Chain A
Amino acid sequence: MKIHICLTGIKTIILDCNNISQYSVFLINSALMNRRDIMSAVNPDQYSYPSVFIYGHRATGKSHVVLSIMKDLELPHASVDCVECVSSGLLFHQVLSAFFGPDAAALLPRCPSLSDFVRLYKQMSSNSPATQTRYIILDRAERMRDMDFSLLPALLRLQELVNDNVTVILLSEIVWEKFRPNTGCFEPLLFHFPDYSKGKSLVQILSWDHHPSYTPELYASYINILLGVFFSVCRDLRELRHLAVLNFSKFCEPLEKGEAKESDIHKLWKNIEPHLQRAMQTVYLREVSSVQWEQQQMDEKEATTLRVLSAHAHIELPYYSKFLLIAAYLASFNPARTDRRFFLKSHGKIRKTNFLKKHEKTSNHLLGPKPFPLDRLMAIFYSVVDSRVAPTASVFSQISSLVTLQLLSQVGHDDQLDSPKYKCSVSLDFILAISRCVCVCVRLLDLLALSLVIQSQVVRQERSLFTAVSNLHLL
């Protein structure tokens, strides 16, 4: 098995590869050590294991390690990014042209099936039998699940199908359990790339690209400060490197001005810490582009606050579109039963005690927008808008343009003609901003207030929840 060679060749790789992979190679080394029993059972003369599945989070060095090994040992391999393969045909094409040259790939028919691929592969490999194991590396293999149903099981045992010494290596960010098809399939060899730990590995790796004009110790302490701020929200090595490069010049500023020495870590920390906090709120979320961030650092003007992306939340809309959106919001978040009470002047008496059913007392904002039919939207629209509006074609076309602007979203596609259903997909703040600038009549504000008062108590709690959820997502 060729991975043996990897093990023996690790030293050369460490010498050749650049810094990041070094650590990762250690990792794969240790991972392989655990599997030593499997490997020792395999005779190098025999065919290698048909398929290997490597998983781990983003930026843990999966593809980097695999590809560096392939390159350094000059193994025959075809590396394919599955995002790029919009059809399985492209995948076959790339594999064939990597192994047997573009002429072989040109022999594929126009819409190649799996059997076409296998046939061609067999034909080609009989012409030029493998001296070494051939490797097919499929990056972002999770996309394979969206492709042809039979493709993944077939690739897992491609060796049997083509009768050639070939190994398929799948790289993915998600675990193998999510891949396994219902019908079962050949179980590949699993490898896990664990996340980098904070203390050792991340500092080590990040310290490798230190600035030539400063000492490595200084850079390491900078990295420590950086990780102190960002580690709680981000463990992506690439992102951290990016942030480190962006903010390093600010860190060095006191040194260049001569205000501090390299040993004054505390002073340097005081200087950089608020800056990094700000970076977390802006650059990290891409509210401010990194170029703008750098420019701001150069300008040295702290007073100029950059206009962040989400600051431009205001949207200019035509008059009736605003009302349509408000109506849609009301329709989406109010129960249909309450319409009569809110929008009719002479609504019947409703006993207060059981006006709202128990399940309706939980905030409608927590439950999210509910779909509503077009008729209800129009009825609320007419009662909300202060003047008489003719049901013109342009009012209806505004609904569809709101849909294309993604302020409304259309639900279900079965009954498009008779009763299309919509959902409102804008936030409460947005609606309040709109109604504030549109409200000439007090009635509408009352209405909004009335309908929102039921929900408003929970809104605050809900917001904190949202932020918590988004933080969780980041982790």
Chain B
Amino acid sequence: MSEIPLTSSVSKGCFVFKSASKKRKRHVGVGGYLVDDSDENGSDRFRICQKLWETVQTNTEVIQDQLNKKVLDSLAEFIKKHGLGCSSDVWRQRGRETPTAALMLGVNVPDHAMTFRSLCNLLQDSVTPFVVSVHAKECAAVKLLIQKVLEQLMGRGVSVDEEQEDDTALLQRTQCTISALCQWYKTVTKKCTQVFPQRTESLTNSDLPQSLPVVVIFKDFEAFNSQVLQDFILICRWDLCSEMCYSSIKFLPFIFIFGIATSPSAIQHRLPHSVSSLLCIEVFHSLSCTQHLASVFDKLILNSQFPFKLSSRVIQVLVGIFLYHDFSVQNFVKGLQFSMLEHFKSQPLSMLCCQKQEALLSAKTLSKKNVERIRHLPSFMRYVETQEPQEQVRLLTNDEHVKEVCQKLLKNLHKYHKNYYPILQCLHSLTSSLPKFPLGKHIRELHVSCIEKNLWETEEYDSALQLLRILAKDELVVALRKCAEILKSTKILQNVLQQLEDFIGRLEALEGVSSEDSSGNGILSGKMEYQKTDLFQLQKTLLEKESRRTKRMNPFEVLRSQVIEFIDSLVREYLTPAELQPLNEVCYYSSSGVLRQRLNVTPRTSIQAALSHPFYYLQNESLKTDAGTISSAAPDLCIVYKLHLECGRLINLYDWLEAFLTVMSAAEDQDTNSEECGKYDSLKHARFIQAVSEMEFLGFIKSTKQKTDHVARLTWGGC
């Protein structure tokens, strides 16, 4: 197949052809990298990681689709309502207004791409084949915008029937007008009605002339030049005059969709009244990104089916980036992907981080090296210490035994996860309705504090329990019911569920009894009159009760404290920190420092670190210096940088040069006792100039006209 590629050029010359085989080579490479690795199970880890990533991807896509379904459906409905079955008469009645949907998407612009993709697909499948989406950066001028619209539309039309391909390929720029589009539209719609007669029948039951709308999606409305938008809307408008008089009858049922990141008032800020009066705007809201994050979090992190786990610090870093910086769920998922890659790359034992059966199987066939690695895991060492001395010896010497124990521990770990999440959800549902949210509003906060430390030792947990202890009966029953629902849906922890239902039953049975009690035993239990409804009253009575210990509690209170104790015991049993679990290192990725360094980069600090401590990056022994001194062995740039730190706002170039020469010659003094020490040297001068211009390039100094032979310093501190 050695075929000489053809060019469209008629002239002789050299042409660059990118070889097609390049990509294939690359693919072979992945295996190659893994084989080179000293580790024998690198490819296994790669496979597991790959598989996990695929599940992450499909899950996030499913979540996105579910969340966007409502808004996308209503959008499609809007377009159907306005576009289909509308003859030109209806449009004329409508005045000259173009139907416009303002789609509010939130400020996380990169995340919009996925929404628009599914919107395009939905519209093309269900409403109209004529969907165009344009991006602001492609459309700096009206000409380009029209060209883009035409290209996308006509290109798509060609794909319907292939005879016309040659004609449209020769689409000249001069013909890039809306009237050309009108001509094209007329011919295509005619064909469409012939091609899909059954479709048109289903869509329009009247005998009005069928008109499929042309949907133009402006992906990032804010970024568009307002003049371009105005002109485009003016050109596309449906005008009585133009219908009547212009040579080419303009009738194109346009529908616009504005993807807006800020607020709908952006439309009015961007467009003058004369233009916005041509639009008939309806607003659609998509789900907020925090809700999106919560569902992604539920699906990927609070899920025992997903073997890869994040430690509390890592979660904090990822969530922090989300909340403080970008609001982008996609970035969050990317962060998750990155930590997955890091984990599987850096932790050889991560090959056990997979589904239970698979993990047990690979635990059976652990290599000698890996057994040794397990012995060195801190959590395993802690486990060994708790064993009897005989067992300890066996664990440290017998490989087979370690493998068996390892299987047992893995089973335990899986069991721990299985029990952990339902109980976490129960606790969250109990505490999320408390005033001031002592354990956090979102389940992720509760999760972070649970896996970080012993939850029951925290103050927040105490205050939450205090608040739970004063819950009224009906509130308590409702909360317990919710917990029972959660446990029912998971189908594990049946005994807990049993107990919970038992409590609910007893609480409800109390209904009659408690009222009798309060009336009958009223005298016995002192003056206490129990009221269920008022929280404040309850708290007061509770405090009173605290002061008078002798008083007897009524049956409800007894039961309530039993319930709370039961919940407390559940928390203590199941919500233990993950770090205490043996072999948690297999599943948990915990190096938050690396993650922060990679995902939340600080370019300026790294440049400064490189300049002030060149050893950090170059790893050259001769560069190791004490703080404060300037080594002459360092690169020129570093010397110049360190010298400039000692200067004020304006730096005298000559003084700087002198200092530089002094540092340089100090080195020479040690080497050779040269006589030209301190003398003007053109080579050194050149080196200095180069270093200074590099400093300017890096943005530390800039030339100034305030004083001759001086440069201005642009940064402060960082010594």
Interface residues of A in 41-90 (CB under 8 A from B): 58, 63-64, 67-68, 70-71, 78-79, 81, 83-84, 86-87, 89-90
Q: In the complex, which of the residues B245, B274, B604 contacts A58, with contact meaning CB atoms closer than 8 Å?
A: B274
Q: In the complex, which of the residues A81, A312, A404 contacts B223, with contact meaning CB atoms closer than 8 Å?
A: A404
Interface residues of B in 230-276 (CB under 8 A from A): 231, 234-235, 241-242, 244-247, 261-270, 273-274, 276
The segment from B159-167, B323-331, B502-510 that touches chain A is B323-331
Q: How far is the CA of A98 from the CA of B247 in the complex (A)?
A: 8
Q: CB of A474 within 8 A of chain B?
A: yes
Chain B's nearest CB lies how many Å from the CB of A104?
13
Q: CB of B106 within 8 A of chain A?
A: yes
Q: CB of A290 within 8 A of chain B?
A: yes
Interface residues of A in 399-436 (CB under 8 A from B): 401, 404-407, 417-418
Contact at A315–B321, with CB atoms within 8 Å?
Answer: no
Chain A's nearest CB lies how many Å from the CB of B247?
6
Chain A's nearest CB lies how many Å from the CB of B600?
5
Contact at A404–B222, with CB atoms within 8 Å?
Answer: yes
Q: In the complex, which of the residues B234, B242, B280 contacts A289, with contact meaning CB atoms closer than 8 Å?
A: B280
Contact at B268–A286, with CB atoms within 8 Å?
Answer: yes
Nearest opposing residue in chain A for B242, CB measure: A81
Q: How far is the CA of A474 from the CA of B234 in the complex (A)?
A: 19
Contact at A245–B262, with CB atoms within 8 Å?
Answer: no
| Interfacial chain A residues near B418, Cβ < 8 Å | none
| Interfacial chain A residues near B279, Cβ < 8 Å | 286, 289
Q: CB of A321 within 8 A of chain B?
A: yes
Contact at B104–A67, with CB atoms within 8 Å?
Answer: no
Q: In the complex, which of the residues A70, A86, A242, A405 contacts B107, with contact meaning CB atoms closer than 8 Å?
A: A405
Contact at B276–A319, with CB atoms within 8 Å?
Answer: no
Q: How far is the CA of A89 from the CA of B174 in the complex (A)?
A: 7
| Interfacial chain A residues near B244, Cβ < 8 Å | 67-68, 71
Contact at B714–A83, with CB atoms within 8 Å?
Answer: no
| Interfacial chain A residues near B282, Cβ < 8 Å | 289, 291-292
Contact at B107–A395, with CB atoms within 8 Å?
Answer: no
Chain B's nearest CB lies how many Å from the CB of A381?
13
| Interfacial chain A residues near B673, Cβ < 8 Å | none
Contact at B235–A84, with CB atoms within 8 Å?
Answer: yes
Contact at A79–B142, with CB atoms within 8 Å?
Answer: no
Chain A's nearest CB lies how many Å from the CB of B180?
10
Contact at A312–B264, with CB atoms within 8 Å?
Answer: yes
Chain B's nearest CB lies how many Å from the CB of A240?
11
Contact with B along A1-39 (1 / 0, CB 8 A): 000000000000000000000000000000000000000
In the complex, how many residues of chain B place their beta carbon closer than 8 angstroms to a beta carbon of chain A? 71
Q: CB of B96 within 8 A of chain A?
A: yes
Q: CB of B109 within 8 A of chain A?
A: yes
| Interfacial chain A residues near B267, Cβ < 8 Å | 309
The answer to whether residues A393 and B321 also contact, given A309-B281, A315-B263, A418-B714 and a CB cut-off of 8 A, is: no
Q: How far is the CA of A86 from the CA of B149 in the complex (A)?
A: 15
Q: How far is the CA of A417 from the CA of B102 in the complex (A)?
A: 35
Interface residues of B in 72-121 (CB under 8 A from A): 93-97, 99-100, 102, 104, 106-107, 109
Interface residues of B in 260-304 (CB under 8 A from A): 261-270, 273-274, 276-277, 279-283, 288-290
Contact at A418–B702, with CB atoms within 8 Å?
Answer: yes
Contact at B602–A393, with CB atoms within 8 Å?
Answer: yes
The answer to whether residues A83 and B235 also contact, given A309-B283, A390-B602, A393-B601 and a CB cut-off of 8 A, is: yes
Chain A's nearest CB lies how many Å from the CB of B420?
30
| Interfacial chain B residues near A86, Cβ < 8 Å | 141-143, 146
| Interfacial chain A residues near B222, Cβ < 8 Å | 404-406
Chain B's nearest CB lies how many Å from the CB of A71?
6
The answer to whether residues A286 and B602 also contact, given A110-B174, A316-B289 and a CB cut-off of 8 A, is: no
Interface residues of A in 285-338 (CB under 8 A from B): 285-286, 289-292, 307, 309-310, 312-321
| Interfacial chain A residues near B274, Cβ < 8 Å | 58
Chain A's nearest CB lies how many Å from the CB of B145?
9
Q: CB of A376 within 8 A of chain B?
A: no
Q: CB of A464 within 8 A of chain B?
A: no
The answer to whether residues A290 and B246 also contact, given A312-B265, A320-B324, A417-B699 and a CB cut-off of 8 A, is: no
Interface centre among A285, A392, A401 (most CB of B within 10 A): A392
Q: In the complex, which of the residues A84, A289, A406 contacts B266, with contact meaning CB atoms closer than 8 Å?
A: A406
Chain A's nearest CB lies how many Å from the CB of B347?
27
Contact at A312–B263, with CB atoms within 8 Å?
Answer: yes
| Interfacial chain A residues near B340, Cβ < 8 Å | none
The answer to whether residues A320 and B264 also contact, given A79-B246, A289-B280, A309-B283 and a CB cut-off of 8 A, is: no
| Interfacial chain A residues near B288, Cβ < 8 Å | 316
Q: In the complex, which of the residues B97, B100, B174, B234 contacts A93, with contact meaning CB atoms closer than 8 Å?
A: B174
Q: In the complex, which of the residues A64, A310, A395 contacts B241, with contact meaning CB atoms closer than 8 Å?
A: A64
Q: In the complex, which of the residues B234, B289, B604 contacts A83, with contact meaning CB atoms closer than 8 Å?
A: B234
| Interfacial chain B residues near A93, Cβ < 8 Å | 174
Q: In the complex, which of the residues A68, A83, A394, A395 contacts B245, with contact meaning CB atoms closer than 8 Å?
A: A68
Contact at A290–B280, with CB atoms within 8 Å?
Answer: yes
Q: CB of A238 within 8 A of chain B?
A: yes
Q: CB of B452 within 8 A of chain A?
A: no
Chain B's nearest CB lies how many Å from the CB of A108?
7
Q: CB of B668 within 8 A of chain A?
A: no
Q: CB of B603 within 8 A of chain A?
A: yes
The answer to whether residues A71 and B245 also contact, given A318-B327, A394-B600 and a CB cut-off of 8 A, is: yes
Q: CB of A348 within 8 A of chain B?
A: no
Contact at B324–A405, with CB atoms within 8 Å?
Answer: no
Nearest opposing residue in chain A for B321, CB measure: A394
Q: CB of A256 within 8 A of chain B?
A: no
The answer to whether residues A391 and B605 also contact, given A63-B241, A317-B107, A417-B699 and a CB cut-off of 8 A, is: yes
The answer to whether residues A87 and B235 also contact, given A313-B265, A319-B323 and a CB cut-off of 8 A, is: no
Q: CB of B220 within 8 A of chain A?
A: yes
Q: In the complex, which of the residues A90, A317, A404 contacts B109, with contact meaning CB atoms closer than 8 Å?
A: A404
Q: How far is the CA of A81 from the CA of B234 in the complex (A)?
A: 10
Chain A's nearest CB lies how many Å from the CB of B5?
27
Contact at B241–A84, with CB atoms within 8 Å?
Answer: no
| Interfacial chain A residues near B363, Cβ < 8 Å | none
Q: CB of B178 within 8 A of chain A?
A: yes
Q: How far is the CA of A87 from the CA of B175 in the complex (A)?
A: 11
Q: How far is the CA of A417 from the CA of B94 in the complex (A)?
A: 50
Q: How far is the CA of A269 from the CA of B283 in the complex (A)?
A: 32
Nearest opposing residue in chain A for B696, CB measure: A418
Q: CB of B177 within 8 A of chain A?
A: yes
The answer to whether residues A79 and B247 also contact, given A286-B281, A312-B283, A316-B106 and a CB cut-off of 8 A, is: yes
Interface centre among B246, B327, B600 (most CB of A within 10 A): B246
Chain A's nearest CB lies how many Å from the CB of B195?
28
Q: CB of A187 within 8 A of chain B?
A: no
Q: How far is the CA of A321 from the CA of B97 in the complex (A)?
A: 36
Interface residues of B in 166-181 (CB under 8 A from A): 172-174, 177-179
The answer to whether residues A404 and B241 also contact, given A289-B280, A313-B265 and a CB cut-off of 8 A, is: no
Contact at B245–A67, with CB atoms within 8 Å?
Answer: yes
| Interfacial chain B residues near A67, Cβ < 8 Å | 241, 244-246
Chain B's nearest CB lies how many Å from the CB of A309?
4
Nearest opposing residue in chain B for A84, CB measure: B235
Q: CB of A239 within 8 A of chain B?
A: yes
Binding site for B on A (CB under 8 A): 58, 63-64, 67-68, 70-71, 78-79, 81, 83-84, 86-87, 89-90, 93, 98, 108, 110, 238-239, 241-242, 245, 285-286, 289-292, 307, 309-310, 312-321, 390-395, 398, 401, 404-407, 417-418, 474
For this complex, 13 residue pairs linking A to B, each with C-beta atoms less than 8 Å apart, are: A67-B246, A79-B247, A84-B235, A290-B97, A309-B265, A316-B107, A392-B602, A394-B326, A394-B601, A401-B109, A405-B222, A405-B261, A418-B702
Which 5 interchain pairs have the tightest Cβ spacing? Answer: A67-B245, A86-B143, A394-B325, A309-B264, A289-B280
Please name 19 further chain A to chain B contacts, defined as beta carbons within 8 Å, in addition to the given A79-B246, A318-B326, sorted by A numbering: A63-B245, A67-B241, A67-B246, A83-B234, A84-B177, A238-B96, A286-B277, A289-B281, A309-B267, A312-B104, A316-B107, A316-B327, A320-B325, A392-B601, A395-B325, A398-B326, A401-B109, A404-B222, A406-B222
